[in-house]
Structure formats: structure tokens, C-alpha cells
Structure 1
Amino acid sequence: MPIIVPASKDTLFISDLHLSLEKPHITRRFLDFLKNRAIHAEALYILGDLFDTWVGDDDFMPPTNKIRTQLKQLTNSGVKVYLQQGNRDFLLGQRFCLATGVSLLGDYSVIDLYGTPTLLMHGDLLCTDDLPYQAFRIKSHTSEWQYSVLSKPLLLRLLVARWYRLRSYFHKRGKAQDIMDVNQNSVIDTLRSHNCLRLIHGHTHRPNVHTFIIDGKTAQRFVLSEWYSDKTEVLCWTQNGYNIEVM
């Protein structure tokens, strides 16, 4: 069943904050956003990669405690917060959600956004031309792989995560940019399979609004922006339409 979004206030969409100890400015911007902007919304959707890495819900290293606390204050105030896992924080689980009051969404989530069925994704599943990543994604989302990782000591997981981030950085530098973008045929097939003509996602760090045709009907794909220390973008939706807030 689609999640029904009430029409009394606006609904906010963000993704790809990549919060970490090494990015204190972005963390401060996010905490300020939760306290001063999101508090006035009906709902907040975080579509993946809230954290730069996530090695398990037992990780309480800074700045995760502050983020947990502020998210809990937001959900306690009545704002509904929904979270999708990204390619960086796919090990984020129910323990984190229970501590924050956040609801975890699946990889494909259809909501009724002011009368229009809208598909929400992180976006990595649409990058089907990146075959090595898709193979790793399949392996890393098995219960056996995740159990093996989460059973390791926290310190070891943190060290391995740093190594993977460094390897990922050099891996991306050697790839053609088009391979890391979405495949349009995959976008169309995914929208068809979920009976939607609107898609909102992140992951690619290529913010834009794309309009195209599916079976003679107009469809739209909203790509959310990565957050930076000096600039953040939020997709805001009301019953009158959308706008992009730059803060």
C-alpha cells in the first residue's frame, strides 16, 4: 500500500549528505536544518547516503549521537521521517530507527504525493551499466554477507570502511561518467513496473528535473543534490507543486 502524504504542510526530500566526522560543516548544516526547517514540515524523506559510511547500528562514534538525538526530537515533535538506505549506509538498520523514530523504507517505495503516485529510490539500482557495482550490491545485500561483516569487532569494521572509501574513490576516477549515471531504459522499466510517472532519487550527484515520455504519457525524474559545506538543496513539495530551496 502506498504511504499517504497529508496535505496540511509541505513534504521535504533530501539525499546524499554523506555525514562523517571529517565533514563537520555539513553535520552542523543538517542539525540546523532539522531544528529550524524540517520542524515545520509534514514529512521528511531522506533518500539514502545520510552517512558517508555506516558499519553497524552499534557505532556511536561522533557525530552519530548528535544526529540520533536531533532526529528523535524531530520525530517526537510529530514530523514523520522516512529513510532509505544508500550505497554508503546500507547496513543501517532497525536499531537506529528505534532510537530515532525514523521509518525505514525499502529500495522501491511508492507514496501518494498530493494525489500523484511517486516512486522513491536512492538511485544506485538504476545505474545498471555499472556491472561491477551491481554485482557487489547483490552480494553485499545478502544476509550471509551482512552477518559476516556485522559480527566483526567495531574497530575492524571502521578500519575496513576507511579502506573501502579510499578504494572506491580511485575506482570512480577510472570510470566513464556515463557508466555511473542512471540507465534511461532502466528508469522507464522501473516506473512501468511500479505504475508511476514520477520518480525522485539521489545517488548520482547530478541534480536536475528530467521530463520524458512513457507510453505516450509525460513522466518526470527528480534528481536530488548532494549536500556541500557551503550549499544545500532541498526538494519541497506542497499540494500546489514543488520548489527547490537553496540554503
Structure 2
Amino acid sequence: MSTPPLPQPVPCVQAQPNWQRVDFISDLHLDAREPATFDAWALHMAHTPADALFILGDLFEVWVGDDTHDPFALQCIAVLKATAQRIPVYFMCGNRDFLVGNALLNATSMQALSDPTVLDFGSADRANPTRILLSHGDALCLDDHDYLAFRAQVRQPDWQTAFLAKPLADRQAYARNVRNTSEARKQSHLNNPNSTGYADVDTQAAIAWLIAADAQVLLHGHTHKPAVHDLGQGLSRWVLSDWHADAKPPRLETLSWLRQKAQSPTRGLCRLPLSAV
């Protein structure tokens, strides 16, 4: 499958000169059945010293429309709104919450991000000019043919309009079926000794996107494989961690950009466990 084309010009967010720290998170898969992860996220949102926060998809385990106002959804909305009143919060949809719409964005004061979007630190840190290309990452998993076919279908405006017109109960039943199918697929991979696991981001596609966007770093989630990949040519790919408070050990971290402070060698991107906030 060919690399998906980038819009030209690529959407861009200009980092503000006063931003000392920027947090990036993704793949929290918030779910009422996992309260410990929600609690860790809510605490971080209330107390992070970041000057801006970028959520790069799959904040929710599933989102079937902005009329989903069950008690847990209302809790999430309250946390997002409180944070966005304190610092800018940017939201990019993922493969589980691609139906987040304007109603939720308006209710929480989050700012929508296109996938992909460039975050330009050039004017914010002249000693270390950097353009970071932000993406959820799923569009670049070119070997995951079944998923990309599904993605192409559900990202169509006509499909989304028809789906959102269905009763909420029907949408929730559809989401449960999709989630169960995904879990069954995951278990199949785990139980198959010959499985190579889920498809990862395609290296050549990542390089092509970075060159087209004039960016040095691709930062994404989706794969649940936190790592830093050297792509050559001064390019790299940073992968966000998923969040799971009940895992052994817990997976709870932000990927953060830090401006260099006086008498401190720390600058640029780094991984921070929640205990470091």
C-alpha cells in the first residue's frame, strides 16, 4: 500500500515563546471499567506543570458520538474542561475516538488537530529549532491491510453521518462488537508463536512524511510500542506509550518537550513517568 499523501501545506501549530514544557499523551483508552487509569490521568491533568498538552488519539476506549453523556463520559469532560481552562489542550482523534465532534470540543474547550499536524518550536527555542510532525500513527501502518480498509470506510463523512443518525444503543452495540473483534485478534496474535504481532509504522512512509513536512521528528502513538527510532538523515520517530495503571509494572508516562533552563542539561524530548510531574 502506498504512503498516504500529506496536505500541502501541512497544518501547523506554532509553539508559544512562553512554553517551557509541552506534554504529549495518547492511547489512554479511558474506560469506566479501569478506574485506576482514569484516576492517574485526572491527577496528572490537574497537576502537570506543562504549558500545553497534546492528546494524540485514543483518549477513550470508544466514543460513539458526542451525545454519549453517561456518568463516566461526564467525568472525562469535566477533567478536560478544567485543564483547558488552565492551559491549551489540543486533541487529535485516533482509531477508537474518531467520532469526537465539535460538540465535545466546544464543551471542553479543546482545540482540534488534523492528522498529521506540525508543531513548530522554531520561534520558541531558537537555540534548538525543531519541527515535530504529530500523528496518531495508524495511517502509516501500511501492512495492516484489514485495518486500513476499515479506517477508509469509517472516516468517510457519509458513513459517519449515517452512523451517528442511528440510536445510541445501536452505536454502542456496534462499538462493543468492534472492540470484541479487536480483543480476539489481539489474543490470536499472542497465542500464535509464529505471529509477528501488529503491523508497525512503515519506515519509508515515516521518512516520506517527515521530508514532505520539513520536520525532523515524527511523534505518534497507536502501536503501544514506546521507543525512539533513528531513521537516518537527522530524522527520528518517537513512539508514545499507552496507559494502563493495572499493568505490572504500570504503564503511565508522558512524552514531554522541555526548554533548556539555566544550569540544566535537559532540553528537547524526554519521557517522564507520572511521579516526575
**When the two structures are superposed, what TM-score results if normalisation uses the length of structure 1?**
0.93
1:160 is the counterpart of 2:174: yes
Higher-Rg structure is 2
CA-based RMSD: 1.4
Identity %: 37
Q: CA deviation at 1:81?
A: 0.5
Cα displacement (A) at 1:174? 3.9
The residue correspondences of 1:135-146 to structure 2 (distance < 5 A) are 135-146=149-160
Tell whether 2:226 aligns with 1:226: no
Query: Counterpart of 1:76 in structure 2: which amino acid?
Result: Q
Asked if structure 1 preserves the Cα contact closer than 8 Å seen for 2:144 and 2:199, the reply is yes
3-state SS of 1:136 partner: helix
How far apart in 2 are the matches of 1:72 and 1:225?
Answer: 24
Q: Per residue, is there more strand in 1 or in 2?
A: 1
Select between 127-136 and 60-69 the one with higher mean Cα deviation.
60-69
The code of the aligned residue for 2:70 comes to M
47, 53, 58: which one aligns with 1:49: 58
Q: How many residues align?
A: 241
The offset of 1:3, in angstroms, is: 1.1
**Cα deviations by residue, 1:94-121 (Å, 9 ceiling, x for unpaired):** 1100000101111110111343111000
Q: Which residue in 1 is equivalent to 2:36?
A: 25
**CA-to-aligned-CA distance 1:8-44 (integer Å, 9 cap, x gap):** 320000100000111111111111111111xx21110
Unpaired runs of at least 5, structure 1: none
Query: What's the counterpart of residue 99 of structure 2?
Result: 91
Matched, 1:106 2:135: no
Tell me how far 1:86 sits from its aligned partner: 0.3
1:43-75 Cα offsets, whole Å, 9 max, x none, are: 100000000000001101131111111211111
Q: Does 1:6 align with 2:25?
A: no
Extract unaligned runs of 5+ from structure 2: 1-10, 190-194, 260-266
Among 185, 188, 204, the residue aligned to 1:171 = 185
Determine if contact 2:241/2:251 at 8 Å carries over to the other structure. no
> How far 1:178 moved relative to its partner?
5.2
Any idea what the Cα deviations from partners look like across 1:153-178, whole Å, max 9, x if unmatched? 11111122111100111123445435
CA shift, 1:186, in A, is 1.2
Q: Which residue of 2 aligns with 1:80?
A: 88
Q: Deviation string for 1:185-216 (max 9, x for gaps)? A: 11111112212121100000000111121xxx
* Corresponding position of 2:263: none
Task: Tell me if structure 2 keeps the 8 A contact 1:21–1:62.
Answer: no
Match of 2:26, as an amino acid?
Answer: S
Measure, in 2, the Cα distance between the counterparts of 1:71 and 1:179.
31
Q: What amino acid maps onto 1:210 in structure 2?
A: H
Detail structure 1 runs of 4+ shifted over 3 Å in the superposition: 172-179
Aligned-partner Cα distance in 1 for 2:112–2:197? 30
Instruction: Give 1:243 deviation, angstroms.
Output: 2.0
